[in-house]
Structure 1
């Protein structure tokens, strides 16, 4: 009896009847591995689409070529043909039954993938917020203020040793799954670095043409805006950026804190140099 070639190594379609139970489906390499490990026996009947009947594993030349256990002993009775697996629905050919089962499994898998993508798109905003807080705390700053308006998150941190401050306005831009699919996960980040100055009134007078609000959304990324707070005596340099969250947050929700901390450190470094070069 001529047997068809084993399916491609990435196709899990081989069924095996082992110790009274139907197991699988497996790939060809999985079958050989399980034979060599003793999980399957060379006398176990097997079947995959394209075969007319169940036959012992040892009768297939591709299996015996790689399996060290050899063929069944001469004169041994033929193994029973399993009656229950894989069972086809009434009136549906065996091959078509397998195809429909596989198609149904694909539909379920894609549904779960869609749900995972939807959950990721809606949860990444809070994950990003937590990651920024953790990375800034690790950089030696202390969180002194946190507010949200439903769209933006506003954060203020202070280094109690030198009195410097870091401020953020975070806005996750791609919470919708469709936009996220096209653009990736993006966030608008306004990051500011601030220090106290001796004569804040003089600084504010010099900045009155620039001063509009405590957070100024600049449409040109990389442009630095200088702002001052008369109440606290702090002058801030702020920069508007767009960050790719895919670079720091994986689909399994793991976070590259080291990379995020480096982004924050580099931004603070540049803003500090600008602030001190202009006012100190």
Structure 2
């Protein structure tokens, strides 16, 4: 039982409204009782307190300075003189706070038995959960060394450049290769007379009134002519690895169809024979190295052609430079062989 009795309190002293450490406004008690709890160490000296007549909340420290001259020395607390949560109302000889009350708000009044209590002012209380201090703009970088951050940024830029070059090479190596082909045949006296690249429109039939279709984005068709002899070289390139992923796994690969064409005597008879031959031996996707013959009815040329698989990165390096000598040699070897086949087949 508490040693603080409301009977010991000076009748002129008001009852003190106070707030516990859980920020709950408790049942008002005599000033001596509240001060006794504080002196015994059960409540902090900064315990919020209020009584009728004050404009706002104060602390028990100020309460002691105001009330002590009226009440005299406070009673000495005993070991069991501490606030508990068991009682609901203070009684003579056993005045303790209760736990059944909630924090008051502005305009709330404290209920009493038989008398109207003045409105208890609201107290500014902290949030239940402490808020972290806001981060300042420098907080992101302050834990790192300046030079280390500079070096890391340069590494990111360099790696981005490497990735960009990989993508650029994967999507553009076929175009660079074609530039090398044009240069190699141009140096040998051939003139580029026709070119279709990915997305270009071409006629789907033999007449100009037929529907036009777009060339696949990874296909290129070129045709050259030797002004001195009238011979022609036709090249069709299908880029088989036009993206970074497939290029990394397989390398830069392309299907090359290279043809050598000449005008031949009795083209009408030869053309009909070739059409019958192609109808009987037609294959959708010729195997690499298979030599075939074809007649271009619109120009009167007969072509000997072969399908090959070439590794474009043998001719175009990581810096997008073309090995012109190697490319010229491979083109020369193919054209030379096709010319032999064509002349042997249609000699005279």
| TM-score, structure 1 as length reference | 0.61
Pair 1:182-2:231 in alignment: no
Between the aligned partners of 2:147 and 2:296, the Cα distance in structure 1 is 70
Give the secondary-structure state (helix, strand or coil) at the position aligned to 2:167.
helix
Deviation at 1:245, TM superposition (A): 1.0
Identify the residue that residue 69 of structure 1 maps to in structure 2: none
8 Å Cα contact 2:218/2:240 also seen in 1:
no
Q: 1:113 aligns with which of 148, 162, 167?
A: 162
Alpha-carbon contact 1:218-1:240 (below 8 Å) kept: no
Give unpaired runs (5+ residues) of structure 2.
1-140, 198-214
Could you report, residue by residue, the CA deviation over 1:156-194 in whole angstroms, capped at 9, with x for unpaired residues?
111111111100111222110001111111111110001
Q: Structure 2: how far apart are the matches of 1:103 and 1:146?
A: 46
Q: Which residue of the other structure, out of 246, 250, 253, is the alignment partner of 2:313?
A: 246
The aligned residue for residue 190 of structure 2 is 141
Q: Contact conserved, 2:218 with 2:242, CA < 8 A, in 1?
A: no
Check the 8 A contact 2:259/2:303 in 1, yes or no.
yes
Higher helix residue share: 1
Cα separation, 1, equivalents of 2:290 and 2:170:
29
List per-residue Cα deviations over 1:126-167 (Å, max 9, x = no partner): 212221111111121111111222332111111111111100
Query: 1:91 Cα deviation (Å)?
Result: 4.9
**1:157 corresponds to which residue?**
224
CA deviations 1:237-267 (Å, max 9, x no partner) are: 0101111111111111111111111111100
Larger radius of gyration: 2
CA distance in 1, matches of 2:334, 2:268: 26
Q: Which whole-Å CA distance do the structure 1 matches of 2:191 and 2:258 have between them?
A: 16
In structure 2, distance between residues paired with 1:174 and 1:188: 10
Matched, 1:267 2:334: yes
Count of matched residue positions in the alignment of Structure 1 and Structure 2? 187
Distance of 1:106 and 1:160 partners within structure 2:
54
CA contact (8 A) 1:217 1:240 kept: no
CA positional deviation for 1:118: 0.9
C-alpha displacement at 1:90, in angstroms?
4.4
Secondary structure of the 1:174 match is coil
List gaps (5 residues or longer) in structure 1.
Answer: 1-88
| 1:60-209 matched pairs, under 5 angstroms | 90-91=142-143, 105-148=154-197, 149=215, 150-209=217-276
Structural mapping, 1:218-237, within 5 Å: 218-237=285-304
Partner SS state of residue 231, structure 1: coil
> How far apart, in 1, do the equivalents of 2:168 and 2:330 lie?
26
Kindly state the Cα deviation for residue 219 of structure 1 after the two structures are TM-superposed.
2.9
* Aligned counterpart, 1:256: 323
